[in-house]
Chain A
């Protein structure tokens, strides 16, 4: 019951707003915000719901063998995720009231936001992969709409196109993966059925027709969907560009929820990843590589939102690595700790959602106060002008850096480091620690440059605190950034809590040392500077990925297009279209000569016809016996 309310409320909100925004005008904003608040309240009740898997709406039923429908899978993961999505969604809605106050296209913005809430809820609740795929595409669409909200800006239009196309690649892999599982599991892609199938069904090792290669292929194809949506290497290029969208959107979609959907989905199908050691290693490797790569890029970015975007990439890489590492650990026979084991990736997803949304909203407040200035080197000294924003932003930053024993980020990051440690692969653990160090470094750099020192421009000098309606979400999220890992909060979410047991003291030490070195390094380097003291072109230019992709696309696509065009010219254009056209045209031209418009010509034809008729009637037909 609650589930259908949570799912349908944003849907109707989006429907009403997008269909009737001309009539509704300002009311559409209220509808959207109201629906998000009611959804949140429903989600609070939902936290207490029992595990369940029921069908809401059957819409595909082929011969009794294949079912797909809108169903709801309630378990600890969907409950926790649902809480995060609706809570942050609500706060972002409220924040947007202030941030988008002067925007002309407010109804479109809030309508798209509601559409996103609907789609995201669908992904979270999905009990089968086909429903998940449908909503997977829907979040892609709403993300496209929201990134391109200021479509008059060429860069925003380009960014939304890029995000959509890049996601398409991943989605295609996801679809192939679903179809592989669909075929192998005799038409059922229900998550529970699949889990059973991997344990003791047609997909279990030893079953007739079992093939390790097939399982790996299916796992990697499904993972490709997460690569696209969670912006992992090599499809990570869209996320930084997606910052062209309004900042609340970046906070909700491109930091807290949608990009985490990939991780969520991987956790959902963890049985599949655990079934394939190779896939688990590849996933952990790609996650680790993305985390390190993005952290390196983040150290040299100057746009406040881009720093956060690369930080998001890095943290998503962390989570994906955790998924892979946990699967690897499970294959090695390590059992998860604690009485109610959660998943470290999910735990980091929860905490990260709070503090990253907080950081994005904080950056949104800064941008709003500085009249849409996004370059951190043109800010400075904002600490005095915007105290509340500063303190909340600092809390978020410390949470992301993982301030020991106080912030939630410390616990969740340690959980991931622990998973990497347990995986038995030292490279994972070492690069994860290095990433943590870099994270502390670039976040401290961001805070020092933007909030300390002297104001470097007029707009920074005149910045004032933002209105209460924007501060409220910041403060709430800041509170959660600290407390979300504490027992009182973590238990309802049934999150994973890392254990500080003997083998994990190394992890603890590594985590604290990474924090300390990163922070001290950043303070030492950036304190009182007006200019970036270090400049590494490779990092600032994002390892030239965009340029490399452009070249690859140019070479491959242009060649392919050339061949396809040639084929089309010859066969479609030539044989199918041109040839009959030419024949008809020639015939037409020939008969046109008869229609010259010349009276004499017509008369000649008439006379010739008369003669022919006489010849036939008088001289030919009688001889033939008529």
Chain B
């Protein structure tokens, strides 16, 4: 039987994949994609909890509202982030994260 645990493990694995990608990849666009994956993994966990936490016999829609907000924010973030990437590419001619070390201490 598929339990909440299954969903949570899938969610965790997806999150871990995203984290590994963020750490390992150097292409900043792919790093961004991995970030989106991590956000979605969190969404999956939220929706899973929502389904199995019944309120009046219905799923907990507060959690789904949160997912809605997360998706919205993520969309805005992607738009701004990609604009930043474009600006960065303009000045550095590169999308390699190694080329962006200006904040080095």
Contact = CB atoms under 8 A, between A and B. Distances in A.
A414 to B, nearest CB: 87
A535 interface: no
Interface string B76-105: 000000000000000000000110111111
B101 A603 contact: no
B101 A595 contact: no
A603 B28 CA distance: 13
Interface residues on A, range: 10 to 19
A607 B23 contact: yes
**Most chain B beta-carbon contacts within 10 A, residue among A592, A594, A603, A607:** A603
Nearest to A595: B105
Contacts of A604: 23
A448 B23 CA distance: 101
Of A597, A604, A607, the most chain B CB neighbours within 10 A belong to A597
A599 B19 contact: no
A282 to B, nearest CB: 70
B74 to A, nearest CB: 18
B24 interface: yes
For chain B, which range describes its interface: under 10, 10 to 19, 20 to 34, or 35 or more residues? 10 to 19
B104 A599 contact: no
A599 B105 contact: no
Interface string A585-600: 0000001101111111
Contact of A598 (B22, B24, B98): B98
Contact of B105 (A592, A600, A603, A607): A592
B44 interface: no
A603 B34 CA distance: 12
A614 B64 CA distance: 25
B45 interface: no
B23 A597 contact: no
B46 interface: no
A591 B105 CA distance: 9
Interface in B41-75: none
Nearest to B35: A603
A597 B100 CA distance: 7
A599 B105 CA distance: 13
- The secondary-structure label for the interface of chain A is helix
B14 interface: no
Given A598-B97, A598-B98, A603 B23 contact: yes
Q: Interface centre among B26, B98, B100, B105, by most A CB within 10 Å?
A: B105
Interface string A553-597: 000000000000000000000000000000000000001101111
Contacts of A599: 28, 31, 97, 100
A596 B24 contact: no
B33 to A, nearest CB: 14
A598 B101 contact: yes
A465 to B, nearest CB: 81
B51 to A, nearest CB: 23
Contacts of B101: 596-598
A595 B103 CA distance: 8
Nearest to B104: A597
Most chain B Cβ neighbours within 10 Å, of A591, A595, A599: A599
Contact of A603 (B19, B98, B100, B103): B19
Nearest to A591: B105
Interface string A183-227: 000000000000000000000000000000000000000000000
A524 B24 CA distance: 108
B19 A600 contact: no
Contacts of B104: 595-597
Contacts of A598: 97-98, 101
A600 B103 CA distance: 13
A112 B23 CA distance: 76
A436 B26 CA distance: 100
Interface string B10-42: 000000000100111010100100000000000
A597 B102 contact: yes
Interface string A262-283: 0000000000000000000000
Contacts of B97: 598-600
Contacts of A594: 105
Nearest to B19: A607
Contacts of A607: 19, 23
A175 to B, nearest CB: 55
A505 B31 CA distance: 117
Nearest to A605: B23
A600 B26 CA distance: 8
Interface in A467-507: none
Contacts of B100: 597, 599
A116 B104 CA distance: 63
B26 to A, nearest CB: 8
A304 B19 CA distance: 94
Nearest to A596: B104
What 8 A-B pairs come out closest when comparing CB atoms? Answer: A595-B105, A597-B104, A597-B101, A599-B97, A597-B103, A592-B105, A603-B22, A603-B23
14 contacts: A592-B105, A594-B105, A595-B103, A595-B104, A597-B101, A597-B102, A597-B103, A597-B104, A598-B101, A600-B24, A600-B97, A603-B19, A607-B19, A607-B23
